[in-house]
């Protein structure tokens, strides 16, 4: 059970970045507003706007996602974090974090906000995600959030937020990653699980009848009603909601 929970936690933090865990006790000051046409506007108060060096980090992360450049991603990770990472954790990071960003890259237009974080909260979060034997070679001082509308091909764009914990070194900002003491799943097993999931989704999509594809495409693509489409696919095909979500992404390609 513990191994399964740790694996799920690792997938969460690597695929989506750290959650808004250490933002403080007050309500977030950033306002995300979506109008009736689906257009999103992000309002960031002056005290949460990035300085020039922090903006440079965001610019580098956005460029790396658009160019599918792993070397550029790693150049943004703090040297002390890289120094303690196992080869397996580096590979897992590429599979579940960096590669995920390249599938929905950050466009030219985006908004950035920065918040200070509390050390105790950071420690609690990383221990919860990776276990008590996790090491934190460099303590993040801020969280940096990037808000944007992700291009999803034929599917409607989705407002997305990427958040990273960052720390400064010699006037430059880097992502401050922890180093797990042990991996909850071997990389070979992780790769196999991802490949199996992709093959299964492709087979499920290919097995849809024209009538089923038409109905699901209307819900998922034309109407942008992802939840209704996932429920329908789950009920019609007898598959889990997570499997339905992965399968429906084929409409976007």
Contact in structure between 161 and 145 (CB atoms under 8 Å): yes
Task: Report, as an integer, the average pLDDT of 53-75.
Answer: 93
Flag whether pLDDT at 25 surpasses 70: no
The whole-angstrom distance between residue 32's C-alpha and the CA centroid of its chain comes to: 18
Q: What local confidence, expressed as pLDDT, does residue 77 receive?
A: 95
**Residue spans of alpha helices (H) in 131-181:** none
Q: What local confidence, expressed as pLDDT, does residue 14 receive?
A: 43
| Residues facing 45 on adjacent strands | none
Q: What local confidence, expressed as pLDDT, does residue 57 receive?
A: 97
Distance CA 178, CA 139 (A): 9
Q: What is the pLDDT of residues 165-174, one digit of tens each?
A: 999 999 999 9
Q: What is the pLDDT of residues 202-223, one digit of tens each?
A: 888 888 888 888 888 888 777 7
Give pTM, 2 decimals: 0.71
| Vertex 48 angle, CA 104 and 73, to 5° | 35
Flag whether pLDDT at 50 surpasses 90: yes
Q: What is the mean pLDDT of the chain?
A: 80
Distance CA 214, CA 221 (A): 10
Q: What is the pLDDT of residues 132-141, one digit of tens each?
A: 888 999 999 9
Flag whether pLDDT at 184 surpasses 60: no
Distance CA 217, CA 211 (A): 10
Indicate the length of the chain as a whole number. Answer: 253
Q: What local confidence, expressed as pLDDT, does residue 61 receive?
A: 94
């Amino acid at each position: 059970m513990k191994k399964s929970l740790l694996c799920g936690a690792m997938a969460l933090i690597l695929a989506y970045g750290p959650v808004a865990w250490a933002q403080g006790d007050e309500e977030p000051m950033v306002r995300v507003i979506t109008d009736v046409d689906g257009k999103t506007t992000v309002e960031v108060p002056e005290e949460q706007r990035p300085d020039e060096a922090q903006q440079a980090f965001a610019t580098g992360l956005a460029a790396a996602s658009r160019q599918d450049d792993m070397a550029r991603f790693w150049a943004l990770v703090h040297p002390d974090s890289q120094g303690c990472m196992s080869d397996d954790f580096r590979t897992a990071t590429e599979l579940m974090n960096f590669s995920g960003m390249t599938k929905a890259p950050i466009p030219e237009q985006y908004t950035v906000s920065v918040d200070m974080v509390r050390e105790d909260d950071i420690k609690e979060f990383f221990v919860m995600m990776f276990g008590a034997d996790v090491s934190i070679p460099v303590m993040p001082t801020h969280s940096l959030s990037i808000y944007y509308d992700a291009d999803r091909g034929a599917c409607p764009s989705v407002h997305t937020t990427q958040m990273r914990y960052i720390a400064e070194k010699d006037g430059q900002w880097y992502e401050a990653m922890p180093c797990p003491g042990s991996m909850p799943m071997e990389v070979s097993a992780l790769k196999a699980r991802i490949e199996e999931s992709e093959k299964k989704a492709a087979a499920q999509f290919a097995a849809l009848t024209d009538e089923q594809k038409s109905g699901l495409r209307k819900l998922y693509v034309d109407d942008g009603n992802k939840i209704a489409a996932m429920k329908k696919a789950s009920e019609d095909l007898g598959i889990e909601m997570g499997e339905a979500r992965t399968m429906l992404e084929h409409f976007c390609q």
